[in-house]
A and B are shown apart, each in its own frame.
Chain A
């Protein structure tokens, strides 16, 4: 094996990949622009702080003026409409997010302890903005209602606590902040997805694509071993996977910062990672990227064309999501059995490092198994590259 020749091949692959607009699109534009926008823009646009929800109100008389005044806020825009208007139609047409019909003689609720008023609400709960409007309005109604209750209790001489004989006092023992938990779910998922799929396009292009365009044939007649060829390509595949993972994380962090306010608490992750844990996350991502690059190369070299390689490889991008989602629903005890399962092991390392709860015993098992898978995958890929059947399949 000659390192100079491996470097020559890697250098050419990198140059070729960087000149390919599709690689740039997949490696840079999608993770740092498209993905964060797709993830955060809907929440941003639906946010009532940016864009207040519009509520149509039909008043039977002016006795509900005080209540209406309590509704108006920077998140809610109240519009009084005529009694003759068809509320259902207005909501269905999207003119308003919510409609409200206030009964006559509304202020009577202040008069006696047994008086009750019914507000009719029209809303399309299948729309995100409708749901937001309903939550806001119900919140305001509850507050207004609580005021009346307090008033009624005061008249009878009872304190407000008379209504809540039992209170719940929740003491959170979560070590990490809610923001860290949010990232502990998202980061392993994103790092995992990008480590596995980040270089997929490049791998297909540089194996099946080279075969299809017949450039591989010329390369195979050079005084280079097939092991050197695969290693040169492998290096760049891993580099691209790592770069796109890093850019995806950058994009997500930037997205959270840019659209903050729109998604509540998650906007302030307050996550601090020690250098050691950061290194651990890097190593875990690297090993996963190396394993998947080997796996993808060995599969796609069997394909005759780029299209065929796409068919072979696309299930991989779905498989990687499974552990990430399964992890959310599994107890730590159950997950211990998955410490040696591929992809699970890497995602567990990343999650534990993020939550600052790395245990040396688990880590050894997870890291060791990840390395073993990587070495097996790379060895098999090298073997396949050296087989005539895979390389010269016309």
Chain B
């Protein structure tokens, strides 16, 4: 629809030695990984490990101190506008305008993505119906529950149908029903061939959703692979045990 990835790109996200320092503090250290089309990739780590900073680097909110990454084939440093056009971001906090309605949100962000109004109108109605927000489409989001706000924020992330989605703690603090509908969307994204990167510290969610995971600790990636590969490598029975072993090592 609005923006596509560069032709012929295999790995929609490709990080090479991505590093971010805040003064003396290294928040992300030499991080290297790839996320392919139709892959859901989990970034797992304890609080403060560097998950959110990695997400912010990939969404061009922060500039890397060294190393680089391409998103949908575009370079973070040289083509930040194109990177932003090809990603959909769900930040840690929904970050919605309390005095605007879900419809106004989608319309606003869609327009910023350069979508023509007639297409945007159709797309907005369609998305609000899928998320079962149709009857609340014209209510200001200030009155919404956390789950409903998160749904609107997720719709905002893909109103322009981007090839890459960056979801930071997408289900944190949500009830089971809300979390399930978010999970359903992640499945749908995978089927549509998008690259989805999820940061989480919810092991069950990671095990259920992710094709591959990277475990990040103290700013560095300590392991990458499918859940089965990591279990085999560490001789553990589940992802939580894998995580505990790798992070405390």
Task: Decide: A214 and B84 in contact? CB cutoff 8 A.
Answer: no
A217 to chain B: which residues have CB within 8 Å? Answer: 61, 91, 93, 95
B97 contacts partner chain A, Cβ-Cβ < 8 Å: yes
Of all A-B residue pairs in the complex, the 9 with the closest CB atoms, nearest first, are: A214-B93, A214-B95, A223-B85, A19-B99, A221-B89, A223-B84, A218-B95, A222-B112, A215-B95
Binding site for A on B (CB under 8 A): 3, 56, 59-63, 81-82, 84-85, 87, 89, 91-100, 104, 108-109, 111-114, 140, 153, 156
Closest to B98 in A: A213
Task: Decide: B91 and A218 in contact? CB cutoff 8 A.
Answer: yes
Q: How far is the CB of A220 from chain B (nearest CB, A)?
A: 5
- B84's partner among A9, A16, A222 (CB-CB below 8 A) is A222
A9 to chain B: which residues have CB within 8 Å? Answer: 112
B97 to chain A: which residues have CB within 8 Å? Answer: 12, 16, 215
Task: Decide: A5 and B112 in contact? CB cutoff 8 A.
Answer: yes
CA distance A218 to B92 in the complex (A): 10
CA distance A96 to B54 in the complex (A): 77
CA distance A213 to B100 in the complex (A): 14
- B59's partner among A8, A213, A221 (CB-CB below 8 A) is A221
CB contacts under 8 Å to B, within A4-33, are 5, 8-9, 12, 15-16, 19-20
Closest to B111 in A: A8
A392 contacts partner chain B, Cβ-Cβ < 8 Å: yes
- Residue among A213, A214, A217, A221 having the largest count of chain B Cβ atoms under 10 Å: A221
Closest to B89 in A: A221
A107 to chain B: which residues have CB within 8 Å? Answer: none
Task: Decide: A213 and B95 in contact? CB cutoff 8 A.
Answer: yes
Provide a sorted-by-A list of 28 A–B residue pairs whose CB atoms are within 8 angstroms.
A5-B112, A12-B108, A15-B100, A15-B104, A16-B97, A16-B99, A16-B100, A19-B99, A19-B140, A214-B92, A214-B93, A215-B95, A215-B96, A217-B93, A217-B95, A218-B91, A218-B95, A220-B60, A220-B61, A221-B59, A221-B60, A221-B61, A222-B109, A222-B112, A223-B3, A223-B84, A224-B112, A388-B63
A225 contacts partner chain B, Cβ-Cβ < 8 Å: yes
B104 to chain A: which residues have CB within 8 Å? Answer: 12, 15
CA distance A19 to B113 in the complex (A): 24
A388 to chain B: which residues have CB within 8 Å? Answer: 62-63
Task: Decide: A392 and B99 in contact? CB cutoff 8 A.
Answer: no
Task: Decide: A8 and B62 in contact? CB cutoff 8 A.
Answer: no
Encoded as 1 (CB less than 8 Å from any B CB) or 0, chain A from 219 to 241 comes to 01111110000000000000000
Given known contacts A216-B95, A218-B153, A221-B59, what 10 new A-B pairs fall within 8 Å (CB)? A8-B111, A12-B104, A12-B108, A213-B93, A214-B94, A218-B91, A221-B84, A223-B84, A223-B85, A392-B62
